[in-house]
Amino acid sequence: MKKTYLLGLAGLALLFVSCNDMLDITPRDKFTDDPAFWNNENMVQNYTNGMYTNNFSGYGTGIDDPYFSALSDDQADPDFRNWTFTTAPGSTGYWSTPYSEIRRCNYLLDNMVSSTISDASKAKYSAIARLMRAYNYYLLVKRYGDVQWLDHVIMSTEDELVSGPRDDRDYVMDKVLEDLDYAIANIGSGNKATWSTDLALAMKSDICLYEGTYCKYRTAADNGKGPDASRAQKYLNECVKASEAIMGKGYSLTANYGDIYNSLDLSGNSEIIFYRKYVKDMLGHSTVDYTSGSTAQDGITKDAIDAFLFLDGKPLATTSLNKSDVPEKVPYYMIGLDGNIVKTPDGRDSVRVDSKGKPMWVYSMEEPFSVRDKRLSKVVDKFLAFKGYGHARTWLAEMTSSTGYTIGKYYTTAMGTTPQEQLTYCNEIGKGYTDCPIYYLSRVLLNYAEAKAELGGCTQADLNKSVNLLQNRAGLPNMTINPEADPVNNVGVSNLIWEIRRARRCELMTDGFRYWDLVRWHMLDKLDTNKYPDIKKGANLSNVDNCEVDLNGGYAIPFTATRTYDKKYYFYPIPTSQINASNGGTTQNPGW
């Protein structure tokens, strides 16, 4: 059955991997059972480096990577991305890659039994392997539901497990929790770019929130199993425990939202728990390029913009502040590397001109954004950029976006002191070297607040030490345990849970979490364009001169494609090659 379990293992070295999508790349290196390898601690340490490289890609170009998350109601790519699968594939890295990593982990665990390295070292490296095994099983369960649990390496196709059935997803997740707790107890301390107890705690916080809420909101009709209140309570309490442990370790939010996304060095950042390091001209990424270059961006939707509160703490439906989202037509100024308008020799602001010397214009959202949650103006560039009206940051190529709203949170002027450096490091594939945050305090604070609210009995003190720290940074009033009702809340949850979910959406927008948040909240139908047409809409372009973008009610709607929800999308389809190889041991997920 599990042909993927018998694949060779990935390389030892901590490779410099940048923007390649690794989903369908088969690991190439193979190992023997040579005791000398496992008795050499340097070799074992190098072996775990491969786990780091393969599992923490940082900024990349794969689905769910930061920015590349257009299968959501927050973003829309130029082709308007459909479901990840619409038919069952023959094979896919979504299935095979985690199992290859699980085999890598089990290989280490099996060989630690007879290794002669110290017991303390055995425990540490076993903790790393169990942490990564937990993570990869979490990925599999999220995608496929029931999967086969393996805690040792299958060495022969004759092994009875090869054609065994999938295990119940609840059983597998209980095993994941055991692995996480072992990792927390044994992995030890480390810096923010390597293995540590804090990394394991942050991962547990995430995974237990997912499991607790998924089990609370799932249905038998759509997920194969109905809600399980006791199980939900158990995992939400585990999330709270892990989150509190992180919250008591001295981490603190940075003063400005967005600082963690465009920094050249996150090692000393007070908000960062774990990050991926990039190095100029050695290890780079393309996220800055994709959000600054001439390729049309996966733009932010009107639905996402409308989620941001106004500075009076009220949503779009009830605020008394200016609700207008009509942009202002302003001169297209030349912007220098310092982010300021370039001056002409006689001291005037310089304005770009077209080929005929005619002054050019852009459309600004500065005024509409000025009365909204401060995160909005960090996530989204204040200038709209769309067909016929591109916009360039400093000396870069003109940007356009599928929706008109371009993403600004990853851009920085720090990667260049000359126009040529800007063009190289901000506008070329694989040249960016800003560090990538992977686990950070804001995520843990949101996990804590949500888990407490889902458990019931959330207090004002709970909110004040978690989500209200984020509200304050965003320039918003404190959230209370009895917030005002938002008329848009139509999903049957309390006003408090609705507002905590909103805070999560706005804080983590484009970070790659939204799709799986909708899955665990049992709200995947929100990606249906027939029910929620605003997820296809972009900026208000009703006042644009000679607009070349198709409009609907004044809003950009450049997509002809639609996306229709079906309950089968709660699970990915099992690859047909896996089913065929199992001789009936593996069955397909419902609806596929």
Domain of 211, CATH number, reads: 1.25.40.900
pLDDT at res. 25: 31
On whether both 591 and 471 belong to a single domain, the answer is no
Of 479, 506, 527, at which residue does a domain stop?
A: 527
pLDDT at res. 442: 98
Q: SS3 of 459, please?
A: coil
Task: Provide the token pair at 2.
Answer: 């599990």
On whether both 295 and 273 belong to a single domain, the answer is no
The mean pLDDT of the chain is 91
74 within domain boundaries: no
On whether both 348 and 414 belong to a single domain, the answer is yes
Taking the CB of residue 584, how many other CB atoms lie within 10 A of it?
10
Task: Give residue 344's pLDDT band: very low, low, confident or very high (50, 70, 90).
Answer: confident
Of 527, 543, 572, at which residue does a domain stop?
A: 527
Percent of the chain with pLDDT over 90: 82
Please check whether residue 578 is in contact with residue 3, taking contact to mean a CB–CB distance below 8 angstroms. yes
Residue 12 has pLDDT above 50, yes or no: no
Question: Taking the model in full, what pTM does it have?
Answer: 0.93
On whether both 30 and 103 belong to a single domain, the answer is yes
Distance from C-alpha of 60 to C-alpha of 68, rounded to nearest angstrom: 8
Q: Residues near 422 by Cβ (< 8 Å), separated by ≥ 6?
A: 337, 394, 395, 396, 413, 415, 416
Task: Provide the token pair at 21.
Answer: 């999508």
Distance from C-alpha of 472 to C-alpha of 550, rounded to nearest angstrom: 38
Distance from C-alpha of 408 to C-alpha of 22, rounded to nearest angstrom: 26
Strands of 529-581 (E only): list them: 551-552, 555-556
Calculate the alpha carbon distances from 225 to 9, 184, 214, 245 in Å. Answer: 35, 30, 11, 32
Residue 169 has pLDDT above 70, yes or no: yes
Q: Residues near 308 by Cβ (< 8 Å), separated by ≥ 6?
A: 372, 373, 375, 376, 506
Distance from C-alpha of 430 to C-alpha of 201, rounded to nearest angstrom: 31
68 within domain boundaries: no
Percent of the chain with pLDDT over 70: 92
pLDDT at res. 158: 60
103 within domain boundaries: yes
On whether both 294 and 416 belong to a single domain, the answer is yes
On whether both 290 and 392 belong to a single domain, the answer is yes
Mean pLDDT of 218-243: 98
Please check whether residue 86 is in contact with residue 150, taking contact to mean a CB–CB distance below 8 angstroms. no
pLDDT at res. 404: 97
Residue 124 has pLDDT above 90, yes or no: yes
pLDDT at res. 179: 98
Mean pLDDT of 419-443: 94
Residue 381's Cα: distance from chain center in Å? 20
pLDDT at res. 522: 98
Residue 160 has pLDDT above 90, yes or no: no
Phi, psi at 9, each rounded to 5°: -95, 155
What would the pLDDT profile of 49-79 be if each residue is shown by its tens digit? 999 989 998 997 666 689 988 999 999 999 9
On whether both 37 and 137 belong to a single domain, the answer is yes
Mean pLDDT of 255-274: 97
Distance from C-alpha of 55 to C-alpha of 207, rounded to nearest angstrom: 15
Task: Give residue 467's pLDDT band: very low, low, confident or very high (50, 70, 90).
Answer: very high
Residue 163 has pLDDT above 80, yes or no: no
What is the residue range of 244's domain?
Answer: 195-279+440-527
Residue 492 has pLDDT above 90, yes or no: yes
Task: Give residue 287's pLDDT band: very low, low, confident or very high (50, 70, 90).
Answer: very high
Of 475, 509, 527, at which residue does a domain stop?
A: 527
What would the pLDDT profile of 233-259 be if each residue is shown by its tens digit? 999 999 999 999 999 999 999 999 999
93: CATH = 1.25.40.890
CA quadruple 484, 488, 492, 495: dihedral, nearest 10: -20
On whether both 573 and 549 belong to a single domain, the answer is no
Task: Give residue 265's pLDDT band: very low, low, confident or very high (50, 70, 90).
Answer: very high
Residue 22 has pLDDT above 80, yes or no: no
pLDDT at res. 582: 84
Distance from C-alpha of 247 to C-alpha of 427, rounded to nearest angstrom: 37
On whether both 116 and 228 belong to a single domain, the answer is no
Strand partners, 300: 75
pLDDT at res. 546: 93
pLDDT at res. 484: 96
Residue 481 has pLDDT above 80, yes or no: yes
Residue 7 has pLDDT above 50, yes or no: no
Residue 336 has pLDDT above 90, yes or no: no
pLDDT at res. 14: 31
On whether both 152 and 247 belong to a single domain, the answer is no
pLDDT at res. 355: 83
Task: Provide the token pair at 11.
Answer: 């390389």
pLDDT at res. 30: 52
Residue type, 476: L
pLDDT at res. 248: 98
Total domains in the fold of the chain: 3
On whether both 98 and 183 belong to a single domain, the answer is yes
Task: Give residue 157's pLDDT band: very low, low, confident or very high (50, 70, 90).
Answer: low
Using alpha carbons, select from 176, 177, 150, 146 the residue that is nearest to residue 162: 150
Mean pLDDT of 303-328: 98
536 within domain boundaries: yes
Residue 16 has pLDDT above 50, yes or no: no
44 within domain boundaries: yes
Task: Provide the token pair at 439.
Answer: 């686990």
On whether both 426 and 294 belong to a single domain, the answer is yes
